[in-house]
């Protein structure tokens, strides 16, 4: 890999990005604008921001188009975080990939040169997790997750996967499963090498714990992971995690640029007038 850090911010179509940041989205209209503003520091460092919407139905598409100056590529199509991130990686122009959740934000400037150095060596890395609330028990939860990752290199998507596009594609990307896709990717990465934990912090929202309850969320996460390790199908687990969605009937992944979707919707609206 011979990518070099650009001397100026990435401008879509003009300068090769130093980093490709891939963010899956699904029904996040309430948080969308704030999150996009938080990603602009990465773009200033020479990153391209790739958004992959999984077919939102809450007005996210209109908001994404309204704020199109805040991203570099945006495609819309099949739901499923694994599918969305694979589609985003296929669009990436950089040889360095970062998979980031919409409700996560990076604290300060990430060590991009270090990330690139590790990727060039065929190593993958992740960040130290912080939660948006620093009060107990959230600070304890974050510390526990960080200690677990340092001991056994078990990493989840909240901690941000960073690796080369070559390595990601050689692994076949994320496994096309509706749940535990980050665990499955981590398992395959660990067969090659332990992940490198960087002291740089990524802050993730506490909303999951606050909505469902701390104890219930922790028990559910560990129980689902235990069932997955025991061989329970991710589709079966997803039905329990996302009740009401039939993952057995999901069509093959298909995506189109947001611009094409907006044009199509505008044309259909003009016909109905």
| Distance in angstroms (rounded) separating the CA atoms of residues 29 and 102 | 11
Q: Read off the pLDDT band of 176 (50, 70, 90).
A: very high
| Distance in angstroms (rounded) separating the CA atoms of residues 184 and 190 | 10
The count of domains in the chain is 1
Residue 13 belongs to a domain: no
Angle at 107 (CA atoms; ends 195, 166), nearest 5 degrees: 35
Query: Is the CB of residue 183 less than 8 Å from the CB of residue 111?
Result: no
Q: What is the pLDDT of residue 6?
A: 52
Query: Is the CB of residue 102 less than 8 Å from the CB of residue 140?
Result: no
Region 184-189 average pLDDT: 96
Q: What is the pLDDT of residue 242?
A: 80
pLDDT tens-digit series, residues 39-67: 999 999 999 999 999 999 999 999 999 99
Q: What is the pLDDT of residue 4?
A: 54
Domain that holds residue 74: 19-210
Q: Which of 120, 197, 198 is nearest to 166 (CA)?
A: 120
Residue 204 belongs to a domain: yes
Region 199-204 average pLDDT: 95
| Distance in angstroms (rounded) separating the CA atoms of residues 174 and 170 | 11
Residue 2 belongs to a domain: no
Residue 12 belongs to a domain: no
Q: What is the pLDDT of residue 82?
A: 96
Task: Check pLDDT > 70 for residue 271.
Answer: no
Query: Is the CB of residue 108 less than 8 Å from the CB of residue 33?
Result: no
Residue 66 belongs to a domain: yes
Q: What is the pLDDT of residue 267?
A: 58
Q: What is the pLDDT of residue 61?
A: 96
Residue 153 belongs to a domain: yes
Q: Give percent of the chain above pLDDT 90.
A: 77
Query: Is the CB of residue 20 less than 8 Å from the CB of residue 93?
Result: yes
Residue 43 belongs to a domain: yes
Q: What is the pLDDT of residue 10?
A: 56
Q: Read off the pLDDT band of 270 (50, 70, 90).
A: low
Task: Check pLDDT > 70 for residue 9.
Answer: no
Query: Is the CB of residue 104 less than 8 Å from the CB of residue 128?
Result: no
* Domain at 186, CATH number: 3.90.550.10
Region 8-23 average pLDDT: 74
Residue 238 belongs to a domain: no
Q: Read off the pLDDT band of 258 (50, 70, 90).
A: very high
pLDDT tens-digit series, residues 66-115: 999 999 999 999 889 999 999 999 999 999 999 999 999 998 889 999 99
| Distance in angstroms (rounded) separating the CA atoms of residues 104 and 88 | 17
Q: What is the pLDDT of residue 15?
A: 67
| Distance in angstroms (rounded) separating the CA atoms of residues 145 and 198 | 14
Q: Give the chain's mean pLDDT.
A: 90
Token pair for residue 14? 């003009």
Helix intervals (H) in 72-137: 81-91, 112-120
Query: Is the CB of residue 194 less than 8 Å from the CB of residue 150?
Result: no
């Amino acid at each position: 890999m011979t990518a070099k850090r650009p001397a100026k911010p990435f401008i879509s179509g003009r300068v090769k990005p130093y980093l490709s940041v891939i963010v899956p989205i699904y029904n996040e209209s309430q948080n969308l604008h704030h999150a996009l503003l938080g990603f602009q520091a990465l773009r200033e460092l020479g990153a391209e921001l790739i958004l992959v919407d999984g077919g939102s139905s809450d007005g996210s598409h209109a908001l994404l188009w309204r704020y199109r100056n805040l991203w570099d590529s945006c495609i819309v199509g099949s739901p499923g975080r694994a599918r969305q991130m694979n589609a985003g990686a296929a669009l990436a122009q950089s040889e360095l990939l970062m998979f980031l959740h919409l409700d996560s934000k990076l604290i300060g400037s990430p060590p991009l040169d270090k990330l690139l150095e590790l990727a060039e060596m065929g190593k993958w890395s992740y960040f130290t997790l912080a939660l948006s609330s620093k009060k107990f028990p959230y600070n304890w939860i974050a510390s526990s997750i960080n200690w677990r990752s340092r001991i056994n290199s078990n990493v989840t998507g909240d901690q941000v996967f960073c690796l080369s596009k070559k390595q990601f594609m050689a692994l076949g990307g994320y496994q096309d499963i509706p749940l535990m896709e980050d665990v499955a990717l981590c398992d395959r990465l660990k067969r090659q090498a332990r992940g490198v934990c960087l002291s740089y912090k990524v802050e993730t929202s506490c909303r999951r714990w606050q909505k469902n309850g701390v104890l219930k969320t922790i028990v559910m996460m560990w129980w689902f992971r235990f069932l997955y390790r025991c061989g329970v199908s991710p589709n079966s687990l997803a039905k329990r995690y996302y009740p009401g969605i039939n993952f057995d009937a999901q069509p093959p992944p298909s995506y189109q640029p947001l611009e094409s979707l907006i044009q199509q919707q505008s044309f259909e609206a003009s016909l109905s007038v």
